[in-house]
Chain A
Amino acid sequence: MFADYSTSELMSIFAMQGFAGLILFSVFVLMALGLAIIFGQMGVINMAHGEFMILGAYVTYLTSNVFSEYMPSMFGSYFFIAMILAFIAAGALGMFVEWALIRHLYKRPLDTLLATWGLSLILQQIYRSVFGAREVGVTLPDWLMGSFQLSEIVEVPINGIFVMTLAIGISLAVAALMYKSRWGIQVRSVVQNRPMAGAVGINTSKVDRLTFGLGCGIAGVAGSAFTMIGSTGPTSGQLYIVDTFLVVVFGGAASLLGTIASAFTISQAQSTMEFFLSGSMAKVLTLLFVVVILMLRPQGLFSLKVRR
């Protein structure tokens, strides 16, 4: 498939598709980060994670509407407000779901998977009833439009750079939270030994709820980023859930660095192949590639040999 292009053209194509994949990468990272926190730290599979993302996307959509309606002068800055609101909305819903559903199922991971799938169906139908079945899109503020022209065919979209900076910033913040803060120590101690953590005075159920809320909140932010690459519909989230899980599992569930590296690999592979093949074949090959790698190395890319 490379035969028709010269080497320099190929380099440019790779570079361009690479930059184009940045937004996909950012969405993957944010989605996967939330999921990795929930799955890696709590062992819970949240099949409704995509719907939490879409909640963030809808919140962004609503915020942009409110700004363009009532505060058109401040439209340029709506995106920051939208992100914060998306985080709060998705996080709050996440905490409610943890309280109502997840906490009863901690010892049954496969059942959690089914219950959260049920939740995702309900959320989809709610979105459909509230926002309609049609997909909605948001208008980007001017300063996010356009791109830097690097060379004749290589363009770097500004929103891509912006979202990627955002994703990396959030990843760093999460890493700091997990490994440096007191709360992070509590989360990790609950993961390692729940009864013991409880015995030394950590409120384990509160830690669980906040962890779950945090993961869902980050998914909400991913939803904000998502509005830049696609339009938002009730079932848009479902399309991302499999990819995101593969990102998490591929990266080795407990490793934040691994999550980021695998999000990068997968999004870039897909984006690059999309240029040469049809979109669906690119997707098939990416998924196949990940599945085969996982069969060869089930523990994921980054994991330690531990004493059992």
Chain B
Amino acid sequence: MSSSNTDFVLAVEGLTVSFDGFKAVNDLSFYVDKNEIRVIVGPNGAGKTTVLDLICGRTKSTEGSIKFRNRELTKMKEHQIVRAGVGRKFQTPSIYGDLSVFENLEISFPRGRSVFGALVFKRDAEVLNRVDEVADMIFLKDLLHTRADLLSHGQKQWLEIGMLLIQDPELLMLDEPVAGMSVAERRKTAELLRRITKDRSVIVIEHDMQFVAEIADKVTVLHQGKILAEGTAEDVKKDEKVIEVYLGH
């Protein structure tokens, strides 16, 4: 496997993972530029979520390399990958229902991550300001002391995005961020995404092609664990293979 250094933020090369013989991702290579918004689309089971799982270390690859700012991720543990600057949002909102919005954000604040650090962690002005700032950004400023369980589905999605933002990751990965949202929430989310995707690279998995066209710099179409097409949203929409397996009908 080549291990040359690149200028890309993320360089995925020859990535393969097989589950009991079934190759969910098969010899996949793609590159994400600095400040690029990359959208991954594809039919169900194409391996989109698996790719994110592989990048953030949730699933271990069988073969291939993933380099984030020229650091090999495949050998790192999940928390090390996060600390290196990769943030990941899950498909279903995963937040801590028993804790308040404030506490959810505070836990995600990148300080006091060791056992001892967590014991002596103090809520100082820096934390309070940062939580305030992020809460404002994700439209939850008035709900800081609400139990997260009580939020609406859309608000929970925003909260999880906020939990990533507070870490200020260099690469942000969002798995279907607008799934299950109302039209109004979608609009707000699009606006939120546009705002937060400045100064960082983003990988988004999304089905809604209109939404994709709106935000994407570049689109990668996955099919059966392989890249079917790659290019701008316009190019991809016109691609015949893509129309056949994904957009068509």
Partners in one complex: yes
Residue positions of A touching B, CB distance < 8 A: 304-308
A306 adjacent to B53 (CB under 8 Å): no
> Closest CB of chain B to A104's CB: distance in Å?
22
Specify the main secondary structure of chain A where it touches its partner.
loop
B58 at interface by CB-CB < 8 Å = yes
Contact of B50 among A304, A306, A307 (CB under 8 A): A307
- Which 10 A-B residue pairs are closest in the complex by CB-CB distance? A307-B19, A304-B20, A305-B19, A305-B20, A307-B24, A306-B19, A308-B59, A307-B50, A308-B58, A306-B20
Give Cα A244 to B50, complex, Å.
36
Give Cα A307 to B22, complex, Å.
10
Give Cα A306 to B19, complex, Å.
6
> Closest CB of chain A to B25's CB: distance in Å?
10
> Closest CB of chain B to A229's CB: distance in Å?
39
> Closest CB of chain B to A304's CB: distance in Å?
5
Give Cα A306 to B58, complex, Å.
12
Give Cα A197 to B22, complex, Å.
25
Q: Which residues of B contact A308 (CB under 8 A)?
A: 53, 58-59
Q: Which residues of A contact B50 (CB under 8 A)?
A: 307
Residue pairs across A and B with CB atoms within 8 Å: the count is 14
Give Cα A234 to B53, complex, Å.
51
Q: Which residues of B contact A307 (CB under 8 A)?
A: 19, 22, 24, 50, 59
Q: Give 14 pairs: A residue, B residue, CB < 8 Å, sorted on A.
A: A304-B19, A304-B20, A305-B19, A305-B20, A306-B19, A306-B20, A307-B19, A307-B22, A307-B24, A307-B50, A307-B59, A308-B53, A308-B58, A308-B59
Contact string against A for B residues 36-59, beta-carbon threshold 8 Å, 1 for contact and 0 otherwise: 000000000000001001000011
Give Cα A104 to B61, complex, Å.
40
Q: How many chain B residues touch the partner (CB < 8 A)?
A: 8
Q: Which residues of A contact B58 (CB under 8 A)?
A: 308
Which of A304, A306, A307, A308 has the most B CB atoms < 10 Å from its CB? Answer: A307
Q: Which residues of A contact B24 (CB under 8 A)?
A: 307
Give Cα A84 to B68, complex, Å.
64
Give Cα A308 to B53, complex, Å.
9
Q: Which residues of A contact B22 (CB under 8 A)?
A: 307
Give Cα A304 to B20, complex, Å.
7
Q: Which residues of B contact A305 (CB under 8 A)?
A: 19-20
**Chain B: CB-nearest residue to A306:** B19
Give Cα A308 to B24, complex, Å.
11
Give Cα A287 to B99, complex, Å.
40
> Closest CB of chain A to B52's CB: distance in Å?
12
> Closest CB of chain B to A136's CB: distance in Å?
49
Which of A304, A306, A308 has the most B CB atoms < 10 Å from its CB? Answer: A308
> Closest CB of chain A to B71's CB: distance in Å?
24
Give Cα A304 to B19, complex, Å.
8
Q: Which residues of B contact A304 (CB under 8 A)?
A: 19-20
Give Cα A308 to B60, complex, Å.
11
Seed contacts A306-B19, A306-B20; 7 additional CB < 8 Å A-B pairs? A304-B20, A305-B19, A307-B19, A307-B22, A307-B24, A308-B58, A308-B59
> Closest CB of chain B to A226's CB: distance in Å?
37
Give Cα A304 to B59, complex, Å.
14
Chain B stretch 78-126: residues in CB contact (< 8 A) with chain A: none
Chain B stretch 179-218: residues in CB contact (< 8 A) with chain A: none
**Chain A: CB-nearest residue to B19:** A307
> Closest CB of chain B to A24's CB: distance in Å?
33
Give Cα A305 to B22, complex, Å.
10
Q: Which residues of A contact B53 (CB under 8 A)?
A: 308
Give Cα A240 to B132, complex, Å.
57
Give Cα A42 to B19, complex, Å.
24
> Closest CB of chain B to A246's CB: distance in Å?
26
Give Cα A308 to B19, complex, Å.
10
> Closest CB of chain B to A196's CB: distance in Å?
15
> Closest CB of chain B to A280's CB: distance in Å?
38
Q: Which residues of A contact B19 (CB under 8 A)?
A: 304-307
Give Cα A307 to B59, complex, Å.
8
> Closest CB of chain B to A38's CB: distance in Å?
25
**Chain A: CB-nearest residue to B20:** A304
Give Cα A305 to B53, complex, Å.
15
